Amino acid sequence: GGPCSVEGKEQICEIAEEVKQAGGCMLRGGAYKPRTSPYAFQGLGTEGILDMVEARKRTGLPIVSEIMSADKIDEFVEYVDLIQVGARNMQNFDLLKALGKINKPILLKRGLSNTIEEWIMSAEYIMANGNPNVILCERGIRTFESYTRNTLDLQAIPVIKRLTHLPIIIDPSHAGGKWWLVEPMAKAAVAAGCDGLMIEVHNDPEHALCDGPQSLKPKKYTELLRQVKGIGEIVGKHVQ
């Protein structure tokens, strides 16, 4: 859990404490943001990464953040525990090859309009270059439906389980684009056998610099984790 974007040291540290208290096992936060508009907030860059490092120091939570280009690999190797490749970079093959040459785990999000086969091949780019530590993340795909931001492909969970040995987590926040869709979809994803959830959490979603409408407040996030724990037990998954 964590905000879409790191907005400053106090913001990320405050949310990190909430995520930790709720029982979250990792802190997310974007420092390099792939925004549709070049005029939208682009992230704090290195400063944002260092703010996350401070949040890790205060809470003990490992951190996950998105890398957008290979020239930042040294920075990510030094500071970030799990390196995220965003949906828009799923087929940035040079980036994938470069990430195959390091030994940090990679969180590979599914592209907006990519098939499961293409997604698996992108994971292969990382693994074939020497890094076997890949986690897949389904975050909704583009369909004709426009009421929701994307359409969450829950079928990807059993398909990935059948075709690969890789863990798959679900990001219901970017899938639905609305905070009230996060809870039902997260619960369905755990019931369907996913290995984890990535959820956007913000202490002041109304004023968030990015993705406020799909962010949960800490109280809702806490309640969600309590519920998925119960569902996890029913389907034989230990929820950390």
State the residues that interact with ligand PEP by CB under 6 A: 4, 30, 34, 66, 86-88, 109, 139, 174
State which residue has the least CB distance to Mn ion: 4
**6 binding Mn ion? (CB under 5 A):** no
Q: Which is nearer to Mn ion, 4 or 64 (CB)?
A: 4
As given in the structure block, the two tokens for residue 98 are 């470069």
- d(CA 169, CA 136) in angstroms, rounded, equals 6
Place of tokens 């292969």: 124
Nearest distance from C-beta of residue 92 to ligand PEP, angstroms:
12
Give me 23's structure tokens. Answer: 């029982």
The Cα 172–Cα 149 span in angstroms is 11
Greatest extent of the chain over all pairs of C-alpha atoms, in Å: 46
Binder among 1, 2, 3, 4 for Mn ion (CB under 5 A)? 4
Alpha-carbon torsion, ordered 21, 24, 26, 30, to 10 deg: -90
Supply the minimum distance, in Å, between the C-beta of residue 67 and ligand PEP: 11
Residues 163 and 159: their CA atoms lie apart, in Å, by 6
Give the span between the Cα atoms of 84 and 188, in whole angstroms.
Answer: 23
From Mn ion, ligand PEP, none, which one binds at residue 51 (CB under 5 to 8 Å depending on kind)?
A: none
In angstroms, give the least distance from the CB of 155 to Mn ion.
23
Backbone angles phi, psi at 141, to 5 degrees: -120, 165
Question: Shortest gap between Cβ of 160 and Mn ion (angstroms)?
Answer: 22
**Stretch near Mn ion under the rule CB under 5 A, chosen from 11-19, 99-107, 139-147, 211-219:** 211-219
Q: Which does 86 bind (CB under 5 to 8 A by kind): ligand PEP, Mn ion, none?
A: ligand PEP
Binding site for Mn ion (CB under 5 A): 4, 211
